[in-house]
Amino acid sequence: MFLENTKKAGSIEVICGSMFSGKTEELIRRLKRAKFANQKVEIYKPAIDVRYSDDQVVSHDSHSIPSTPIDSPASMLLLSSDVEVVGIDEAQFFDETIVEVVQKLADRGIRVIIAGLDMDFAGKPFGPMPALMAVAEDVQKVHAICVKCGSPANHSHRLAKSDQLVLLGEKDAYEPLCRHCFNAAEAK
């Protein structure tokens, strides 16, 4: 007799790209589909990200979903009991412990969906994102449109004059650029 395995396999999915590429929009879409399928979903974001809302994940085009702001990735382990899907927005703002946390969640049989910037304003790998991409079963890189030439954009060019790694901002502080236009802007 064939016995079906009732234990669900966990997984890690990463949605990455530049600012204005639709990362959060795709995260919200996947989470809403899971909710529609009656799956228990928990959504987290860094407490420092208060650009649009204190307690919602909000995309640049104003789509939103309720979330829990947290300071430490370890909080997810405590708050995610009895869930099937965990969503994490702006993962680049968390420290490296997020990698171990999401692996533990996936090992528990939870589907973990992560969105974050893969590169910082200087075009360097951003925080824990490279390690998250390495341990993920699925990585989707999304692109914005270069505001200078219309090509696919993969850089978040900072308009504001600051060398701080984390500088929260929107269209007033950043613009999406392709490799060519980013290199030209950095050469100025």
Instruction: List residues with catalytic annotation.
Output: 90
Residue written as tokens 């890690």?
12
Task: Phi first, then psi: give them for residue 25, nearest 5 degrees.
Answer: -60, -45
Q: Which residues are CB-contacts of 55 (< 8 A; sequence separation ≥ 6)?
A: 66, 67, 68, 69
Residues 77, 104: contact at Cβ < 8 Å? yes
Q: Return the number of other C-beta atoms located less than 10 Å from residue 84's C-beta.
A: 17
How deeply is 54 buried, as exposed, middle or buried, from its count of CB atoms within 10 A (0-12, 13-18, 19+)?
exposed
- Cβ burial 113-126 (10 Å sphere, 16+ → b, else e): bbbbbbbbbebeeb
Task: Phi first, then psi: give them for residue 178, nearest 5 degrees.
Answer: -75, 175
